[in-house]
Structure 1
Amino acid sequence: MSEAFTQIDGGDLNVLIIADHASAHVPADIDLGIDSALLADHIAVDIGVAEVSALLARQLGCTAVLGGVSRLVIDLNREEDAPGLLPVMSDGHAVPGNRHADLADRMMRFHHPYHHHVARLLERMASPFILSVHSFTPRLASDPGQKRPWDIGVLYNRDDRAARIAIPMLEAAGLKVGDQLPYSGKVLNATMNRHAEGNGIPYLGIEMRQDLVGDADGQRRFADILAPVVLECRGRLA
């Protein structure tokens, strides 16, 4: 057991599901100085990701690692020297408790154990494939004019092999797919840069639209769509 992550053991298939922002948990000894209602908001957690990841782990028969704390406690999908590890502002909301927080302590307590565990799991797999699961809000409070009409985005940095396989399959399943949208994996890809691209491990990075995975029906729908996509990518690349 670790406060830095939750592991779901769905089986022995050499696929590792990684969900950096799956939790809204804030440990009792950390005060972010925010309204607790914000912990249900996209600034604190990738809505729907924990549930879809758990469904996929059991459906595929593989392991999933879910980040154990809110992205407001520390952002697990950031390089160790990157700004934004301890956000003091997110989508127009101040996070005053992070202004004087001990970054080194949060790194030792959450960031390092999480990434070390991911690395250990991958080392045990003979020919791993990674699925990185995130979700995005369809509306940013700080930029209400920005339109985000995609159902799912596919993100990558230099390695776009799985993206090229997945995008037509996702479109064929009826989804409106954003290639490098609503974010670019050239910019926001720290976990996959470290564990996948840095080690030559094939991976698929996806961002689901949160209003489509906010309930059990939507979560099941996306898990059912993604499962064969992951198997196809793994079969052709791993």
Structure 2
Amino acid sequence: MIDGLPYRQVGTDMMRPGGLICVADHASNHVPAEVDLGIDRKLLDDHIALDIGVEGIADRLARRHGIPAHIATVSRLVCDFHRTEDDPAAVPTSSDGHLVPGNIGADIEKRLDLYHRPYHRALEAMIKDAKPRMIVALHSFTPSLATSDVERPWEVALLYNNDDRAALHAIRLFGEQGLTVGDNQPYSGKQLNATMDRHAEAQGIPYCTVEIRQDQIATEAGQARWAMLLADVMGRVALEV
């Protein structure tokens, strides 16, 4: 966390009406000192604690490609910003087969007040100032879950709920790059789309929720490649919506 805030914003000096902004709800594995999750610290480098590779992409999009970013600075195990406040998984007691004992009986209201609400208030203010043409929500997914043997072959995927106008363009453009593209995979935006439901769909703003397979972006080289690819594809999508 920076200055006690559960988020940081990069490139806001470059915001302009009608541009793009990006959001990274699961960019950090940081656990504040006052929170004891009761888990093996090795798990903080696992996908259950953060979306591996996303922070580096969001930073590059902001610093090198002129797409301002709103980036989480707290682990999803402390408070999951990509959940509604009334969702039990906003403070998860388990994830992919791992128990999170420190969250059992946790003061949920305190977690929401310290982390979830400030994060979303700041994002709301950023969107109001930026008046973006489109929002890009960045996530990554593990090639395999410990609790499932279902294959996840997609290199990138687009998630959406009711508003698919940007996602369908992105699916086509990524496919033209020779990538294996998922359509509402490996999760469906019909069931899990909390941040974009609130800040994009409810406001009538087009968006792309992009899920990149983690092995594509585990290195700085992979993150740089995908930042460049995203800047190009998202820029072209924004012209079509």
* TM-score of the aligned structures, taking structure 2 as reference length: 0.95
Alpha-carbon contact 1:59-1:227 (below 8 Å) kept: no
1:134-185 deviation line (CA, Å, top 9, x unaligned):
0000010111x21001001100000001111111111111211000010100
Deviation of 1:217 after TM superposition, in Å, equals: 1.4
| 1-structure distance, mates of 2:131, 2:25 | 23
Deviation of 1:58 after TM superposition, in Å, equals: 2.2
| 2-structure distance, mates of 1:2, 1:204 | 29
Structure 1 equivalent of residue 27 of structure 2: 22
Structure 2 equivalent of residue 202 of structure 1: 206
Alpha-carbon contact 1:65-1:118 (below 8 Å) kept: yes
| 2-structure distance, mates of 1:119, 1:174 | 35
| 2-structure distance, mates of 1:47, 1:214 | 6
Structure 1 equivalent of residue 164 of structure 2: 160
Matched, 1:45 2:46: no
Report the AA paired with residue 92 of structure 1: G
Deviation of 1:225 after TM superposition, in Å, equals: 1.2
| 2-structure distance, mates of 1:149, 1:121 | 35
Alpha-carbon contact 1:92-1:142 (below 8 Å) kept: yes
Deviates more, 1:189-198 or 1:83-92: 83-92
Gaps of 5+ in 2: none
Q: After the TM superposition, which residues 137-216 of structure 1 pair with which residues of structure 2 at under 5 Å, given as runs? A: 137-143=142-148, 145-216=149-220
Deviation of 1:46 after TM superposition, in Å, equals: 0.2
Deviation of 1:66 after TM superposition, in Å, equals: 0.8
Deviation of 1:18 after TM superposition, in Å, equals: 0.4
Deviation of 1:125 after TM superposition, in Å, equals: 2.3
Deviation of 1:8 after TM superposition, in Å, equals: 1.0
Matched, 1:56 2:58: no
Deviation of 1:68 after TM superposition, in Å, equals: 1.4
Gaps of 5+ in 1: none
Alpha-carbon contact 1:122-1:128 (below 8 Å) kept: no
Matched, 1:32 2:34: no
Deviation of 1:15 after TM superposition, in Å, equals: 1.4
Matched, 1:12 2:30: no
Alpha-carbon contact 2:15-2:130 (below 8 Å) kept: no
Q: After the TM superposition, which residues 83-162 of structure 1 pair with which residues of structure 2 at under 5 Å, given as runs? A: 83-143=88-148, 145-162=149-166
Deviation of 1:3 after TM superposition, in Å, equals: 2.3
Deviation of 1:6 after TM superposition, in Å, equals: 1.3
Alpha-carbon contact 1:173-1:225 (below 8 Å) kept: no
Deviation of 1:236 after TM superposition, in Å, equals: 2.4
Equivalent pairs counted in the alignment come to 236
Deviation of 1:2 after TM superposition, in Å, equals: 4.3
Deviates more, 1:147-156 or 1:80-89: 80-89
RMSD (CA atoms):
1.2
| 2-structure distance, mates of 1:108, 1:222 | 34
Q: Give me the identity figure in percent.
A: 47
* TM-score of the aligned structures, taking structure 1 as reference length: 0.96
Deviation of 1:100 after TM superposition, in Å, equals: 1.5
Report the AA paired with residue 120 of structure 1: A
